[in-house]
Amino acid sequence: MGRQAEAAIRLFVADTNSGGGVETGGRQYELALECFDDCSRRDRAAEIYRSLCFDKRADLMFGPYSSGLTRVAEPIAEEAQMVLVNHGGADDDPSSRPRRLTVGVLTPADEYMTAMVRLLTTLKFWRKRVAVISSRSPFSRAVADGIERACAERRVRRRGVRIRLKFTGAFDPERTPEMLGRALRRNRINVLLSAGSYSHDVAIMRMAVAPHFNIPVLGCVAAGVAQFCDDLGGDADGIVGPSQWEDSVEVSPEIGPSPAEFVRRIRTVYRGSVDYPAAQIYAAGLVTAAALRSADSVDQERLRRAFSDLRTTTFFGDFAIDPISGRQIGHRMVLVQWHGGRKVIIAPEGAGDSGALELPSGWRLILGSLQWIRLKRRNEESDEQDASDEEG
């Protein structure tokens, strides 16, 4: 994720400078970029941001990738009275910490799975018995809290959606499958949602796709990135995930390139799969340049006010922040589902290429999982027959 972000912000700087840089204060300036590796360590992140704020005194400062590290950087930026452009930390509950100068680019974590919950109401079976499995990180708790709030909505409850099981903790390969398995069967769970780190979600999904569970609807945060299908292979089919951005979503940007042009450009400098971590930081660069031009100064207070006044659209989607908290209120998530090794957008309907699936999104939600269960059973029956033939 970090390497995608680095490649994309380097591309943004190169594109901006080749176009003449940024005008502010009546002069044209080129952007000079420095990237630092925090090694996913909080102490290292704190060291970097203290240096940027108090030693180097950067003009423009972008946050790290991950909510946990962003929580480290924010108070340092606040202390230095510097704007922090948050492109990589979706856990941005302003009630948990002061963040007056933080500018959020992402849809907040507590909205990651709300569209998924509302989509459950369209399913034709009456009782939707939901299990929510999360790790102990603030990001995971924020996603889980958003699921709970959405399930408590009157319309959702009237359509039979109920949380029947909540589990919070680390995944222990020796104990967790057996313990959770008993609870899932006892509560007759037919919807399982996982919110954790990438590795946590993958472990939960590998457990949940076991045929004896027969859970028709599976969703997790990790399913939004391309690596998920690489790691799960065919087992990814039918699993739903939230995504900050997909290149097939139709957007008419007011500033910057189109989605197709961005993908073409990023693939000239980055050979791996391109997911939303790359898109969101390039978009963060676009809105920062727009705010800088509007402020006509690198003064941090003027820059922050310019962000508050900014309403625009990039290939990443709409941008608008709450003027007080800096929380992103313009951008919206999409839901994707894996089918045959590719991601299909299932919500909002009509947002992009839906491939060959011509079903209402509620039925698309369970189509992949039901097909997968039938195939698993068929393969197991075939294996049993082969074993019987060998014994004979």
Confidence tier at 372 by pLDDT (50, 70, 90) = very low
pLDDT of 354 = 41
- 210 vs 143: which has the higher pLDDT: 143
pLDDT of 357 = 35
Q: How many CA atoms lie within 13 A of 32 on its CB side?
A: 4
Q: What is the pLDDT of residues 98-120, one digit of tens each?
A: 578 999 999 999 999 999 999 99
Whether the pLDDT of residue 349 is over 80: the answer is: no
Q: What is the pLDDT of residues 274-308, one digit of tens each?
A: 888 999 999 999 999 999 999 999 999 999 999 99
Q: What is the pLDDT of residues 253-276, one digit of tens each?
A: 999 999 999 999 999 999 888 888
The two structure tokens encoding residue 286: 């676009």
Percent of the chain with pLDDT over 90: 73
Indicate the range of 17-21, 50-54, 135-139, 311-315 predicted with least confidence. 135-139
pTM: 0.84
Strand ordering across the sheet containing 191-195: 161-168, 128-134, 191-195, 217-220, 240-243, 334-339, 342-347
Identical fold, 2-107+247-319 and 111-243+334-380: yes
pLDDT of 203 = 96
Whether the pLDDT of residue 314 is over 50: the answer is: yes
Whether the pLDDT of residue 309 is over 90: the answer is: yes
pLDDT of 97 = 61
d(CA 267, CA 262): 9
The two structure tokens encoding residue 155: 């319309």
The domain spans of the chain are 2-107+247-319, 111-243+334-380
Sign, Cα dihedral of 21, 22, 28, 29: negative
pLDDT of 96 = 61
**pLDDT (average), residues 82-103:** 83
Whether the pLDDT of residue 229 is over 60: the answer is: yes
pLDDT of 391 = 41
Task: Say which DSSP state 244 is in.
Answer: S
d(CA 363, CA 114): 18
Q: What is the pLDDT of residues 24-51, one digit of tens each?
A: 888 999 999 999 999 999 999 999 999 9
Contact of 351 with 244, CB cutoff 8 Å: no
pLDDT of 151 = 97
Contact of 196 with 176, CB cutoff 8 Å: no
Mean pLDDT computed over every residue of the chain = 88
pLDDT of 366 = 54
Whether the pLDDT of residue 132 is over 60: the answer is: yes
Distances (CA, A) of 155 to 125, 152, 185: 16, 9, 27
Identify the burial level of 255 via C-beta atoms within 10 angstroms of its C-beta, where 0-12 means exposed, 13-18 middle and 19 or more buried: middle
Indicate the range of 48-57, 130-139, 207-216 predicted with least confidence. 207-216
Instruction: Give the three-class secondary structure for 51.
Output: helix
Contact of 209 with 231, CB cutoff 8 Å: no
**pLDDT (average), residues 308-330:** 96
d(CA 194, CA 1): 20
Q: What is the pLDDT of residues 54-84, one digit of tens each?
A: 999 899 999 999 989 999 999 999 999 999 9
pLDDT of 371 = 46
Whether the pLDDT of residue 333 is over 60: the answer is: yes
Whether the pLDDT of residue 184 is over 60: the answer is: yes
The architecture (CATH level 2) of 111-243+334-380 comes to 3-Layer(aba) Sandwich (3.40)
Percent of the chain with pLDDT over 70: 87
Domain 2-107+247-319 = CATH 3.30.56.10: no
